[in-house]
Structure 1
Amino acid sequence: MICCLNPHCTQPNHATLAAVCPTCGNPLEHRLRGRYRPLKLIGRGGFGRTYFALDADRLNSRCVIKQFAPQTQGTKSFLKAVQLFEQEAVRLHELGEHPQIPTLLAYFEQNKYLYLVQQMVQGRTLHQEIAAQAAYSEGHLRQLLEDLLPVLHFIHQHGVIHRDITPSNIIRRKVDQKPVLIDFGVAKQFSEAIRYEQGTRIGTEGYAPIEQLRSGQAYPSSDLYSLGATCLHLLTGCKPEDLYSPQAGCWLWQEHLQKQGRTIHPGLAAVLNCMTKDLVSERYQTAQDVLDDLQRLPKLEGAVPGWVSSQSSQSLFTGLDRPPLSGPGQTAGLALPITSIPNINEAAEPVSKPLSKPASEPASRPAVGNPSSSPLGPATPSAPSTKPISSGSPRSGSPRSGSPRSGPAIAGHGWQLVQTLMGHQSWVMAAAFNPQQPVLVSGSLDDTLRVWNWQSGDLLHSLKGHARGVNDVAIDRRGQVLVSCGDDATIKVWSLGDGTLRHTLKGHLRDVTAIALGSDSSLLASASEDGTLKLWNLNQGTLIKTLPGSAGMLKTVAWLDADQRLVSGGLDNTVRLWNAQTSAVLKVFTGHTNTVNQVAVSPDGRLAASASKDRTVRLWDLATSTLLHTLQGHTQEVNTVAFFPDGRRLVSGSSDGTLRLWSSQSGTLKDTLSAHVNPVHQVAVQTSGNIIASASADKTIKLWQWQG
């Protein structure tokens, strides 16, 4: 994989090692300065382009290359922009190795273009955070200030003023969730210098103080103003220009909070007001002054991991409708709390008493509850009911937290929407059915997992434990072990019966993107943005081995062949088949032209399906290592794919908001569901094959039932 560095190339990303670009015909630079390998275009602007790259001299560590290639070469603006580019390099060099500022790795000229190489900071900007989730709480805002103010103190002590602090220029680093201050003027200054001959007044409207916008002057207190305006945006969810009254000459952010039914500590309000005074002389003069006042405020209590329920005396599965017998001689029942990670060969006993009525989370914020002290007892696994999902009125005395039913299914044949599960506060990234009970678990970027009765739509419990967003969930085939992974770089193993945290698996250096449970539930595979696959023993909570990384982050992993082989995919656009015993790559499947977001393996282990950012799903024959079909139709990137239990069908979900159902035999499109208005991040198929769950960035999970 290589990227064309011609700033005019329309399609620079290629899965090729050719000498010339297939798009524009320009020579491909496989190594800038003999060491930096450009892999993918990740940004562009008036000053040039930004590329994701690997540094061959630093064990292929990830880095960012900024290419300076403005369109107006030879003009006064161009010369000014060159000067500003050099100033950017000087600034970063002067700031040394502060852990919350990107490290400058190199600055050089090659082929008449200027290049600046920086440490890559993986994460989301605060602008992306506020767009994807609810406004910040007081606690989150205070933590942000306590993390960022020392950075401002550091740069000001070195005589540097950032001059453009906004939510877009602060990245929440995934590996440790620390905010990182980026873009010390380079992109903004280039665009301003090219657009305006007169000067280089830097600052973003709404965030920049009046002295910057009028005269271009900036002081340490100017950065504090911009940080304060950023905080007001994060706290209220409104842009600063909507929070200020030019007629009255004052901020109205507290009035906005009151309209939302929210308040904050008066001391914190006073700090924010002092940071955002119009007059320089009336503001805080140093970042340390702000920190001193923050430290005088009362401390906030932290959250406690565990099941969150309005009735702590009841166990997780209390109240699930008892499913019917799944076959002759089989007893219906529930998977229950366990005291250790189960062995699949262990015997199970039948339930000896009926179940009580459901316990649901109230609409108000629940108190932290304790796990059940009286589990029901063991049960024999059975197939869950596939009767039509109830869509009547909620039972009295059983309210749900933001989870209204979707209403009756539309009469007729085909796939019908029968339930909408609501309650998550951010994008829902993961969903998994319990194979033994009418239970579905969802994971979200709001840092929580939620456990639902998918037949009734009731929210049973919320699980809190991850410090950052949840990316994937998996449930063992006995329905007793829940595994989750997230942006906090950890994997958590829970007893699904009582919510007990059994293990926290640490070892990945960056966020864990995907997990896959082995067939005997004692083996787990995990994929991470650190570029590695890891195999874990769940009984002991220990790392077995690390499979060597490939070029780029890994996004997905799946098992086949009774835990003998693995399939993975990620940023290098390939699907890789691994021997889990020897850690060897058996086959690399190429064909995708962009990131592979998810892979799925058919129940018989014969086929693999890969969903990609290139808007396709590809079907591979694992025995012959051939591409069988390329499934085309989605209009945006495909994020997720899953096989049906019969292996003859599969369903894909895309950022275009649709679900598409395909024949795995012919590769033909069978149905399209307009599922969500926002991207679909995960699809799951229930064991009967008659229910599909789709999890979306619209913060909901929708359930679709086949009406035959």
Structure 2
Amino acid sequence: MICCLNPNCTRPENPDSGKVCLSCGTLLIQQLRGRYRPVKVIGRGGFGRTYLATDTDRLNTYCVVKQFAPQTQGTKSFNKAVQLFEQEALRLNELGEHPQIPTLLAYFEHEQYLYLVQQMVEGRTLYQEVQKTGPYNESAIRALLNDLLPVLQFIHEQGVIHRDITPTNVIRRKVDSKPVLIDFGVAKQFSETILYEPGTRIGTEGFAPIEQLRSGQAYPSSDLYSLGATCLHLITGCKPESLYNPLEGRWMWREKLQQIGRSCHPELGNLLDRLVKDLVSERFQSAGEVVAELRRIPSLEGAVPGWVSQGSASSRLPSGGSLPLGKERKISIPPMPTTKPPKMSVPSLSQPRLTKPPGSLSGLSGPGRSGLVSGTKGTGWQCVRELTGHSSWVTAVDFNPKTPTLVSGSLDDTLKIWNLQSGQVFYSLEGHARGVNEVKVSAGGQVLASCGDDDVVKVWNLAEGALLYVLKGHLRDVTSIAIGAKGFLLASGSEDMTIKLWKLDKGSLLKTLTGSSGMVKTVAMTSDEGTLVSGGLDNKVRVWEVGTARQVRVLSGHMNTVNQVAISRDNRLLASASKDRTIRLWSLRSGSLIHTLSDHTQEVNGVAIAADNRTLVSGSSDGTLKVWDTQTGQLKYTLTGHTNSVLGVAFHPNGRVIASASADKTIRVWRWAG
């Protein structure tokens, strides 16, 4: 089956072999952008249609194609519709990395129509659930709150308000029963000016708070109101407008609940009441406040208590790693310290044996708490340090190759430099205006680079704790950086789909590499600084020639986003970690696939290769690290102890120590004790 893309066609479905629509005579588009094949109309509206399509680049997996094809142009309503359509694409691009928000796959124009392609979410809406199985019980309401509040925390932390949370805009995903938040067409950025004139109605009647319906103004508490109204609909089976008495100015949902022979725990009822207060000041101000209140309510039979995840591992972000909301962000470039950090001894940098994983850094001894290792033999890897001090997710770690120190970056906007021997913080660097995504230390140990959601790369004098350069040029979040072994070149990858090469000693831009079809999530560079590797949202691994800025090879095989790439020290092996829960090992020289490593139960966020070129470590949202033999592809050890996603991993240059960064706000240091 192939679908006609003429929005006025009355019978758009055509046989696969068709070249021209049998109904309207329009030429059939076999593949939009040479990739997306429309097969069925699944929705219609005043400004176009929504199609079910197959993605030929992803083994014909299903996706959703939204077409913007208004009947009239130049009107105020048309301009508003264009704005909302483009805004949905922008928001999905910013937020689609969250597993409970559909991923934006593409946004483009074709024959004067706009198209938005996004991940297909198979399942029923919450509205359909109630229609089919009847109202929720209180346990189901509490479970829903536990699943959706972290999603709201995430989007609010990114500065976005959804503004249309309703039972029809939440889909219960069939594969794991997790609620997925859809339809960001009217979402609003905190910092934007009001786009809607007074009197414009934004949101859905009954679910939108009064400030949205009157003037289009919205706050995080506005989304919480809509979530509360959604819960009232789900627990009673009635529309919210029928549950409110305007003469008395109060909600009547408890009375309705009694009529259908149900009850609600008083404290949970009070929480729902506060969510739907008319006055913004009387509501919860952040999703984090609701979470805290929910934790205090006694556990309900059959409910999911607190933030504890239940059942099998899923693709969503694990519980317990909430982002701090309402935190004031400020740029604070630290002054030069009055005293330099203490001098530190240099650990042994001897090469490890190829026959077994290597020993330890001096000063690291004894297993840390909750450091469990399963493996094939011996004591294997042991957790010898648990470093605490960050107030939010720790996203990245890197060792200083010259001193026993470790650098970490976090979504609390700071970098910390740790003494590995004592486990204490030497000092913190505050300079990023938003969360830090990656940190890298130069081979000489003197220069530190960091990048973040504030669209910049910062270069620091690591010994002095002083800021050297701020590298500006990316238009969106900078997600990844790499420093060449010679110390002259720095590469940065960004959500703006570009890679930039910088002269590290001057802080100047050399060239920009374009050609990625999605946001760039990760970059890595060979030791000779001649080859660059990148990966990202388009599921591809791309190999670039640095001198010419030419793309020389594209490696396909991953079924989802490539989160990180790593290159072995001998420049022969390339590893790519993916949201599809696998690590792929490639020959960098030929581009051929060597092994596919698959044992993680959730997406793989980080990967690193030891100096022996034989040992690889991966970190995953399932909370574990896994150590692999790159030669055989065999899993050797599983390291457990983190209570949330492992977001980054690093090997010490001697190959005998691993560091892992986690959404549980800690860093763990692991030593080979074989």
Q: What secondary structure is seen at the aligned counterpart in 2 of 1:694? A: strand
CA 227–185 in structure 1, closer or farther in 2 if over 3 Å, else same: closer
Post-superposition offset of 1:158: 3.2
Query: What are the residue-to-residue correspondences of 1:302-317 with 2, within 5 Å?
Result: 304-306=332-334, 312-316=337-341
Matched, 1:57 2:109: yes
For residues 49 and 315 of structure 1, the distance between their equivalents in structure 2, rounded to whole angstroms, comes to: 46
Post-superposition offset of 1:239: 3.5
Query: What are the residue-to-residue correspondences of 1:668-707 with 2, within 5 Å?
Result: 668-707=634-673
CA 660–528 in structure 1, closer or farther in 2 if over 3 Å, else same: same
Matched, 1:323 2:346: yes
Partner of 2:543: 577
For residues 329 and 223 of structure 2, the distance between their equivalents in structure 1, rounded to whole angstroms, comes to: 34
For residues 631 and 458 of structure 1, the distance between their equivalents in structure 2, rounded to whole angstroms, comes to: 35
So what's the TM-score if we normalise by structure 1?
Answer: 0.59
Matched, 1:225 2:279: yes
For residues 598 and 66 of structure 1, the distance between their equivalents in structure 2, rounded to whole angstroms, comes to: 21
Q: What secondary structure is seen at the aligned counterpart in 2 of 1:57? A: strand
Matched, 1:591 2:557: yes
For 1:305, the aligned partner's letter is I
Partner of 2:362: 387
Q: What secondary structure is seen at the aligned counterpart in 1 of 2:569? A: coil
Post-superposition offset of 1:689: 0.8
CA 223–491 in structure 1, closer or farther in 2 if over 3 Å, else same: farther
Equivalent of 1:419 in 370, 374, 385: 385
Post-superposition offset of 1:478: 0.8
Query: What are the residue-to-residue correspondences of 1:612-623 with 2, within 5 Å?
Result: 612-623=578-589
Post-superposition offset of 1:527: 0.9
Matched, 1:558 2:510: no
For 1:315, the aligned partner's letter is K
Partner of 1:350: none
Q: What secondary structure is seen at the aligned counterpart in 2 of 1:238? A: helix
Query: What are the residue-to-residue correspondences of 1:368-379 with 2, within 5 Å?
Result: none
Equivalent residues of 1:7, 1:49 under 8 A apart: no
Post-superposition offset of 1:582: 2.3
Query: What are the residue-to-residue correspondences of 1:645-664 with 2, within 5 Å?
Result: 645-664=611-630
Equivalent residues of 1:621, 1:627 under 8 A apart: yes
Equivalent of 1:201 in 241, 253, 256: 241
Post-superposition offset of 1:699: 0.8
Which blocks of at least 5 consecutive residues in structure 1 are unaligned? 79-98, 105-115, 124-143, 170-177, 244-271, 273-299, 328-383, 393-404
Matched, 1:431 2:397: yes
CA 240–77 in structure 1, closer or farther in 2 if over 3 Å, else same: closer
Residues 618-638 of structure 1: CA distance to partner in whole angstroms, max 9, x if unpaired?
001122221111011111111
For residues 330 and 551 of structure 2, the distance between their equivalents in structure 1, rounded to whole angstroms, comes to: 44
For residues 329 and 102 of structure 2, the distance between their equivalents in structure 1, rounded to whole angstroms, comes to: 41
For residues 507 and 690 of structure 1, the distance between their equivalents in structure 2, rounded to whole angstroms, comes to: 38
For residues 568 and 476 of structure 2, the distance between their equivalents in structure 1, rounded to whole angstroms, comes to: 29
Equivalent of 1:643 in 596, 604, 609: 609
Post-superposition offset of 1:482: 0.5
CA 465–223 in structure 1, closer or farther in 2 if over 3 Å, else same: farther
Post-superposition offset of 1:435: 0.5
CA 54–61 in structure 1, closer or farther in 2 if over 3 Å, else same: farther
CA 215–513 in structure 1, closer or farther in 2 if over 3 Å, else same: farther
For residues 676 and 5 of structure 1, the distance between their equivalents in structure 2, rounded to whole angstroms, comes to: 44
Residues 500-528 of structure 1: CA distance to partner in whole angstroms, max 9, x if unpaired?
11111111121111100112222111111
Equivalent residues of 2:243, 2:251 under 8 A apart: no
How many positions carry a matched residue from both structures? Answer: 498
Equivalent residues of 1:192, 1:201 under 8 A apart: no
Matched, 1:16 2:56: yes
For 2:466, the aligned partner's letter is T
For residues 446 and 589 of structure 1, the distance between their equivalents in structure 2, rounded to whole angstroms, comes to: 35
Residues 556-614 of structure 1: CA distance to partner in whole angstroms, max 9, x if unpaired?
00012612221111111111111222222211111111111100011111111000111
For residues 163 and 109 of structure 2, the distance between their equivalents in structure 1, rounded to whole angstroms, comes to: 16
For 2:200, the aligned partner's letter is H
So what's the TM-score if we normalise by structure 2?
Answer: 0.61
CA 165–678 in structure 1, closer or farther in 2 if over 3 Å, else same: farther
Query: What are the residue-to-residue correspondences of 1:271-290 with 2, within 5 Å?
Result: none
For 2:608, the aligned partner's letter is A
For 2:647, the aligned partner's letter is H
CA 505–228 in structure 1, closer or farther in 2 if over 3 Å, else same: farther
For residues 203 and 508 of structure 1, the distance between their equivalents in structure 2, rounded to whole angstroms, comes to: 49
Kindly indicate whether structure 1 or structure 2 has the higher relative contact order, using CA contacts under 8 Å at least 6 residues apart: 2
Q: What secondary structure is seen at the aligned counterpart in 2 of 1:497? A: coil
For 2:442, the aligned partner's letter is D
CA 651–705 in structure 1, closer or farther in 2 if over 3 Å, else same: same
CA 705–50 in structure 1, closer or farther in 2 if over 3 Å, else same: closer
Partner of 1:340: none
For residues 565 and 575 of structure 2, the distance between their equivalents in structure 1, rounded to whole angstroms, comes to: 5
For residues 626 and 226 of structure 2, the distance between their equivalents in structure 1, rounded to whole angstroms, comes to: 43
For residues 509 and 565 of structure 1, the distance between their equivalents in structure 2, rounded to whole angstroms, comes to: 24
For residues 577 and 386 of structure 1, the distance between their equivalents in structure 2, rounded to whole angstroms, comes to: 34
For residues 577 and 61 of structure 1, the distance between their equivalents in structure 2, rounded to whole angstroms, comes to: 31
CA 624–241 in structure 1, closer or farther in 2 if over 3 Å, else same: closer
For residues 60 and 574 of structure 1, the distance between their equivalents in structure 2, rounded to whole angstroms, comes to: 27
Post-superposition offset of 1:387: 2.3
Partner of 2:200: 158
CA 15–543 in structure 1, closer or farther in 2 if over 3 Å, else same: farther
CA RMSD of aligned residues (A): 5.3
Post-superposition offset of 1:211: 4.6
For 2:241, the aligned partner's letter is R
Equivalent residues of 2:65, 2:117 under 8 A apart: no
Equivalent residues of 1:432, 1:440 under 8 A apart: yes
Query: What are the residue-to-residue correspondences of 1:169-248 with 2, within 5 Å?
Result: 199-201=239-241, 210-211=250-251, 225-226=279-280, 228-231=282-285, 234=288, 238-239=292-293
Post-superposition offset of 1:230: 3.0
Post-superposition offset of 1:692: 0.6
Q: What secondary structure is seen at the aligned counterpart in 1 of 2:279? A: helix
Post-superposition offset of 1:440: 0.2
Equivalent residues of 1:463, 1:499 under 8 A apart: yes
Query: What are the residue-to-residue correspondences of 1:448-597 with 2, within 5 Å?
Result: 448-560=414-526, 562-597=528-563
CA 605–697 in structure 1, closer or farther in 2 if over 3 Å, else same: same
Residues 190-215 of structure 1: CA distance to partner in whole angstroms, max 9, x if unpaired?
999899875453999xxxx9459689
For residues 576 and 55 of structure 2, the distance between their equivalents in structure 1, rounded to whole angstroms, comes to: 16
For residues 122 and 450 of structure 1, the distance between their equivalents in structure 2, rounded to whole angstroms, comes to: 33
Post-superposition offset of 1:233: 5.3
Query: What are the residue-to-residue correspondences of 1:78-157 with 2, within 5 Å?
Result: 151=194, 157=199
Q: Identity percentage over the alignment?
A: 39
For residues 446 and 496 of structure 2, the distance between their equivalents in structure 1, rounded to whole angstroms, comes to: 29
